[in-house]
Amino acid sequence: MSTDAIVQMTGKLDPRERWSAVDRCSIGKALDVVRTRSAFLVMREAFYGTTRFDDFAERVGLSDPVTASRLKELVDEGLLEREDYREPGSRTRKAYRLTDQGADLFPVLVALMEWGDRWENDGGGVELRHRDCGARAHIELRCEQGHTLESGDLELAVRPRRKRTAA
Amino acid sequence: MSTDAIVQMTGKLDPRERWSAVDRCSIGKALDVVRTRSAFLVMREAFYGTTRFDDFAERVGLSDPVTASRLKELVDEGLLEREDYREPGSRTRKAYRLTDQGADLFPVLVALMEWGDRWENDGGGVELRHRDCGARAHIELRCEQGHTLESGDLELAVRPRRKRTAA
DNA sequence: CGGCATCCTTAGGGATACTG
DNA sequence: CAGTATCCCTAAGGATGCCG
């Protein structure tokens, strides 16, 4: 087995396990990249298809300087990419588009949206549907055997560090 | 049909659609409740089974005052609840436990963790497994017909406001 | 249109010290 | 153990104005 510890979720924590700390936690690392509310909302807006500076600012409800900062940071982090484009007959414009890394953040936003729908927004204002079959789409936690899970059904396994005392 | 607009994800946005704005967006509402990195990490720690003040502070890596603020806010928002408990023979202690509302945030944290694993943490340090069958667990976006989806497979439907011009 | 510079206010968060 | 009080610094974000 390739793990060196197993913790029952909601159980006691072995004090020698420091994976909980900042340096091992992917949640913390993710939040270092997408740290602010405005960053999340700019990403939401990119998923909605917004590409232009002024549209980001207006639809997210941010001032121009903050919009500029968030867009630049997200481009620097690799979640968005900026490109020039020109519609025939008009002048060059800038467009911000999701990279693969940015697009991969979608489940996070859907999970936030569904939680907000249930607990903070009286059922929510939008719904996601599968384009091909029209059925509503949801975020789910499932195991590779296909079981649908809740947090209590999980255990957490800590993998050993790679590349260090290779035995 | 109970929707009043359909937008293709990554397509153009109808300018009259203001659901994108703050007042209709459940993502924004969710981020108003759990706004900061430290709030997310405190919730992570609660999922890991931490219940005591000092453990939150140490394992999340927060100063005492910030830990106190986050815990108090999360209790006020209804994501955690504080209870006194007493182990036989020792004095009364305080414990913070997830409420249903707090536990329901789990998919958000898992989605963040998986994104961080893939893009910021070289594959990640922990893995989640289904306790009953041992299979690895993941977050998935699926429609009610059982299709596994990516962001491009979705369309977004805006539901009309309830309780207002009821026709 | 797509920004940047400047200035300001508030929020996030650490350090230290103290209390029940 | 479980916090509070105080102080200080930085980050988040708005308002205004300018610029290519």
Mutation site for B-interface testing, chosen from A17, A104, A108, A161 by largest number of B Cβ within 10 Å: A108
Q: Which contacts (CB < 8 Å, 24+ apart) does range A61-64 have?
A: A61/B21, A61/B22, A62/A38
Within the 101-160 window of chain A, which residues sit less than 8 Å (CB to CB) from chain B? Answer: 101, 103-133, 135-145, 147, 149-159
Which is more confident, B72 or A159?
B72
| Nucleotide in closest CA–C1' contact with A71 | C3
Q: What are the tens digits of pLDDT across the range A69-96?
A: 999 999 999 999 999 988 777 778 899 9
Beta carbons of B30 and A113 less than 8 angstroms apart: yes
Q: What is the mean pLDDT of residues A24-36?
A: 93
pTM beyond cutoff 0.95: no
CB-CB neighbors (< 8 A) of A52 in chain B: none
Token pair for residue B20? 């994108």
Q: Is the CB of A54 under 7 A from strand C?
A: yes
User: What pLDDT is attached to residue A86?
Assistant: 80
Q: Is the pLDDT of residue A35 over 90?
A: yes
The phi, psi pair for B105, rounded to 5°, reads -80, -5
Q: What are the tens digits of pLDDT across the range B77-110?
A: 999 999 988 877 777 889 999 999 999 999 999 9
Range with the poorest average pLDDT among A31-45, A52-66, A109-123: A109-123
Q: Tell me, yes or no, if B85 comes closer than 8 A to chain A by beta carbon.
A: no
User: What pLDDT is attached to residue B162?
Assistant: 54
The span from the CA of A109 to the CA of A116, in Å, is 10
Contact A9 B48 (CB under 8 A): yes
Closest CA to A123 of B107, B142, B10, B29: B29
User: What pLDDT is attached to residue A96?
Assistant: 98
Q: What are the tens digits of pLDDT across the range A133-163?
A: 999 999 999 999 999 998 889 998 877 655 4
In sequence order, which ranges of B37-123 are alpha helices (DSSP H)? Answer: 37-47, 53-60, 64-77, 100-103, 106-119
User: What pLDDT is attached to residue A19?
Assistant: 46
* 3 state SS of B31: helix
User: What pLDDT is attached to residue B160?
Assistant: 65
User: What pLDDT is attached to residue A9?
Assistant: 57
Q: Is the pLDDT of residue B23 over 70?
A: no
Which is more confident, A121 or B13?
A121
User: What pLDDT is attached to residue A66?
Assistant: 98
Q: What are the tens digits of pLDDT across the range B146-161?
A: 999 988 899 888 776 5
